[in-house]
């Protein structure tokens, strides 16, 4: 079997596949996140997410809820939900002083953790009363 090489960017600082394995979120070492579909033979760009102000350092795609979590050197994190047409961001209230460097969903996908440059881990949950994610 022959291996296929697809160049989505010159360099990639973060990526995550969806649960079905047919879409991937890629950060080309910028503030952008590019969502591609994969049909088994190639990639097609679906959407570019641009809400971060600095390099995206981590992306986590929740397999069951289909939410994307992203964090950045701008000290922000977003939870992205698809509304049927576009990905809509919700800013996460992190309360951190350094860059957000890594992120991961919990197994139930109702909480997530964001690691920071000052060795702090923010554990975040959804606060329904205010309709936001908070640490």
User: Model confidence over 18-52: pLDDT tens digits?
Assistant: 999 999 999 999 999 999 998 888 899 999 999 99
**Strand ranges for 32-96 from DSSP E:** 33-38, 43-49, 56-61, 68-72, 77-82, 87-93
pTM: 0.92
pLDDT above 80 (res 88): yes
- Angle at alpha carbon of residue 116, lines to 114 and 122, rounded to 5°: 40
Q: Which two tokens stand for residue 100?
A: 């957000």
pLDDT for 2 equals 56
């Amino acid at each position: 079997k022959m291996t296929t090489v697809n160049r989505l960017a010159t360099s990639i600082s973060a990526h995550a596949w969806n649960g079905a394995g047919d879409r991937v979120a890629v950060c080309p070492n910028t503030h952008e996140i590019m969502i591609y579909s994969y049909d088994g033979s190639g990639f097609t760009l679906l959407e570019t997410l641009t809400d971060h102000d600095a390099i995206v350092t981590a992306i986590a795609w929740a397999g069951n809820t289909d939410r994307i979590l992203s964090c950045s050197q701008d000290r922000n994190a977003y939870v992205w939900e698809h509304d049927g047409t576009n990905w809509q961001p919700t800013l996460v209230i992190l309360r951190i002083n350094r860059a957000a460097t890594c992120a991961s969903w919990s197994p139930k996908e109702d909480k997530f953790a964001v690691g920071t440059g000052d060795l702090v881990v923010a554990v975040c949950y959804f606060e329904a009363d205010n309709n936001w994610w908070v640490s």
